[in-house]
Amino acid sequence: MPFVQFQSNIVSSFTIANVWASDVTVDLDQFKANLFISTIFTNSRNLCLGIGYDIEKILFRVYFAMKFWNCKKTLIDDLTDYDSNFTGFNA
């Protein structure tokens, strides 16, 4: 029987320097999928077509991790100057 086998693992990381970091992991466990096609010819010259499928149980997980860096940091000290907040000496 021919079949197709799938599996996936995706990791995504997002970071705002000196403020926030997050990681998302998507994990799709391995599973098989089959597709059945049949053709039947009868004695009365009729043609019967059939199609079907079979898919194993699919297990899909998502993991999310997040952390704040230096939670006591002042994000906005001067409403007119945002440069030193993230890249300055105390960032």
The model's pTM is 0.52
Q: So what's the pLDDT on residue 90? A: 61
Q: So what's the pLDDT on residue 75? A: 62
How many angstroms separate the CA atoms of 38 and 50, rounded?
Answer: 5
* Domain ranges within the chain, ordered by starting residue: 4-87
Burial of 5 (0-12, 13-18, 19+ CB in 10 A): exposed
Structure tokens at 55: 């898919």
- What does DSSP assign to residue 78? B
pLDDT of the chain along its 91 residues, tens only?
778 898 999 999 999 887 889 999 999 999 999 998 899 988 888 899 999 999 999 999 999 999 887 666 566 666 666 666 566 666 5
Q: So what's the pLDDT on residue 45? A: 84
Amino acid at 47: L
